[in-house]
């Protein structure tokens, strides 16, 4: 209960610090994350890595097994949302990164990416509507596998009421502090690359807040790395 109270207060304070930022839910990649172009060029290698991991997905932890704070959105419907973490708050999960050299190479060249994971949604999985707590990062998705794309059963991401269907090779940069949800209604998995990218800011308090969040998250990630490793 004390930890939850501290978390709520910290979230409220962070929102106050970033209150002056008024960017839209969906952001321009050329302006905020031009490195996404390099990811597009890496698409075949990233897709191959993700599909190889999926073949042994029983060893990939579900998101709420990594972080209990994600239980409400990860364990809400009995369907699996598995996360293969290569990096968490700047902390490289070396055992996982070693199995994903294409992603690891990109991360080595782009330190502004604080968190990176391959995300696997089981058929029928719904991630309920929720909002992220921290405006200091921007969320990037690259859809790697979605055989049901273009059909009535296509998976989708909805951000602030705007529904975006997933399509293989499609990238999106967005602000996860806006309400969002995901559904994969079809009979096949949806696989995506998820990145957290440092938001460019000018304010000193915002820069200090980002540093504090990353240091705290990096320490927590080191302490809980065992949960993130895929056997």
Q: Mind listing the pLDDT tens digit for each residue in 45-103? A: 999 999 999 998 668 999 999 998 899 999 989 999 999 999 999 999 999 999 999 99
Q: Which is it for strands 126-130 and 137-145: parallel, antiparallel or unpaired? A: unpaired
In a domain, 2, yes or no: no
Number of helices (H) and strands (E), helices first, in the chain?
10, 10
pLDDT of residue 11: 80
**Is pLDDT of 219 > 90?**
yes
In a domain, 6, yes or no: no
In a domain, 113, yes or no: yes
First-to-last CA distance in the chain?
A: 32
What is the number of domains present in the chain?
Answer: 1
Q: What is the mean pLDDT of residues 202-207?
A: 93
Residues with Cβ within 8 Å of 128's Cβ and at least 6 positions away in sequence, in order, are 72, 73, 76, 181
Strand partners, 15: none
In a domain, 39, yes or no: yes
Tell me the CATH number at 132: 2.60.120.330
Highest mean pLDDT among 2-16, 17-31, 63-77, 105-119: 105-119
| Three-class DSSP labels, 86-115 | EEECCEECHHHHCCCHHHHHHHHHCCCEEE
pLDDT of residue 14: 86
pLDDT of residue 58: 66
Residues with Cβ within 8 Å of 154's Cβ and at least 6 positions away in sequence, in order, are 146, 148, 165, 166, 167, 185, 186
| pLDDT tens digits, one per residue of 165-176 | 999 999 999 999
In a domain, 200, yes or no: yes
**Residues of the domain holding 151:** 26-228
pLDDT of residue 35: 97
pTM of the model: 0.94
Give 2's pLDDT tier (boundaries 50, 70, 90).
very low
């Amino acid at each position: 209960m004390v930890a939850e109270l501290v978390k709520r207060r910290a979230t409220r304070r962070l929102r106050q610090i970033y209150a002056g930022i008024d960017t839209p839910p969906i952001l321009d990649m050329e302006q905020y994350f031009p490195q996404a172009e390099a990811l597009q060029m890496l698409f075949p290698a990233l897709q191959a890595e993700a599909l190889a991991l999926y073949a042994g997905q029983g060893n990939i932890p579900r998101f709420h097994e990594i972080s209990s704070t994600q239980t409400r959105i990860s364990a809400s419907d009995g369907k699996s949302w598995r996360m293969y973490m290569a990096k968490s708050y700047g902390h490289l999960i070396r055992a996982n990164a070693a199995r994903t050299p294409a992603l690891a190479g990109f991360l080595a060249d782009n330190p502004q990416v604080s968190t990176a994971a391959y995300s696997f949604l089981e058929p029928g999985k719904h991630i309920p509507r929720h909002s992220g707590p921290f405006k200091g990062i921007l969320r990037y998705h690259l859809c790697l596998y979605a055989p049901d794309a273009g059909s009535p059963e296509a998976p989708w991401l909805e951000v602030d009421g705007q529904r975006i269907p997933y399509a293989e090779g499609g990238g999106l940069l967005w602000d996860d502090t806006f309400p969002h949800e995901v559904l994969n209604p079809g009979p096949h998995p949806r696989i995506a690359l998820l990145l957290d990218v440092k938001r460019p800011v000018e304010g000193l308090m915002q820069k200090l807040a980002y540093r504090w969040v990353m240091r705290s998250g990096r320490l927590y990630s080191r302490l809980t790395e065992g949960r993130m490793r895929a056997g």
